[in-house]
Amino acid sequence: MAWNFILNRLREYGRLVMFSHTVFSLPFGLISMLWAYGGLPPVNTFVYILVALIAARTGANAFNRLADRKIDARNPRTADRPLQRRSVSVKEAWGVTVLSFALLAFCAWRLNTLCLILLPLALFVFVFYSYTKRFTWLSHFVLGLACGGAPVGAWAAAAGTLNLLPFALGGAVCFWVAGFDIIYATQDIDIDRAQRLHSIPARFGRMAALNIAALSHAAAIGCLLFIAVFWLRGWFYLAGTGLVALILTLEHIASRGFLRLKIDFIAYSANQIVSAVFFVFALLDFILEGGAAWTLTLT
């Protein structure tokens, strides 16, 4: 009985923060870590980075659910979420948020000084995003900025310094996430307008929003190609980038009604495939085409 209760609570907390969506930015953070260190860092460093990436996303999402709980309750699409059904209490959601951010802070402290310096900025972006839809239609790009911090933070954790490469990868994540978030928001145009919430679809209409999403995804591919050119990535990386571009193209074809797919698949499931494809091909590039300087090492 006790195990059933624990598993049920964990299941509800997972639904609260949509834990399965952690795969969106996590692979980009892990690749950034490998690039920064030139291989696998020491086990304790790797564990701290992995926990920090998961804790950051979990805490940010839990806080977003708290900030939006009244808004979500008025939206038929989100009215059945755990906080709205009261399968998770507000106190529990705050507990998940505080625990996750505390775990992120602990990992930053254990990693290096640069991570500690960046921690307040990361927390600010996580909290700030949850309120942006109340005053700006650029909220999708603030969400992208929050997710794009994963490769930047992972690089800082592994290398203790920063250069342009993690920001280019973070830019790719930012534009990619903003693009599919815009597509997802097209289903809430009427309710957003009724609640005076700001989004690109509510501000400009569905077709204009889809065009902006397409431009955002083109910018994401541009960032990935920028990395390929200036950091001499190999054929596996280029093949992975090509597959990502193909999946995103199909995503936009489907969002315009030329393929009969549900919006949840177009905006979420398809993009989980994007992150997995990028990770696999970037990892293959790292292992098989990186040369001696990129050999995986365990220390």
The reported pTM is: 0.92
Buried b (16+ CB within 10 A) or exposed e, 270-299: bbbebbebbbebbbbbbeeebeeebeeeee
Q: What is the pLDDT of residues 166-193, one digit of tens each?
A: 999 999 999 999 999 999 999 999 999 9
CB atoms within 10 A of CB 74: 12
Of 76-85, 134-143, 238-247, least confident by mean pLDDT is 76-85
Whether the per-residue pLDDT at 296 is higher than 60: the answer is: no
95-127 residue pLDDT tens: 999 999 999 999 999 999 999 999 999 999 999
Least confident of 199-213, 224-238, 284-298: 284-298
pLDDT digits (tens, 9 = 90+) for 204-226: 999 999 999 999 999 999 999 99
Q: What is the C-alpha to C-alpha distance for residues 150 and 156, in angstroms, rounded to an integer?
A: 10
Q: Which pLDDT score is estimated for 299? A: 40
- pLDDT (tens digit, 9 = 90+) per residue, 42-99? 999 999 999 999 999 999 999 999 999 999 999 988 889 888 988 889 999 999 999 9
pLDDT of residue 109: 97
pLDDT at 291 over 50: no
- Per-residue pLDDT, 257: 80
pLDDT tier at 15, thresholds 50, 70, 90: confident
* Mean pLDDT estimate for the chain: 90
Rounded distance between C-alpha atoms, residue 82 and residue 42, angstroms: 38
Percent of the chain residues past pLDDT 70, beyond the cut: 93
Please say if the pLDDT value at position 294 is more than 50.
no
Q: Say how far apart CA 163 and CA 170 lie, in whole Å.
A: 12
Domains and CATH numbers, the chain: 2-294 (1.10.357.140)
Going from the C-alpha of 73 to that of each of 62, 81, 165, 226, 233, the distances in angstroms are 15, 8, 41, 42, 47
Q: Which pLDDT score, from 0 to 100, does residue 261 have?
A: 64
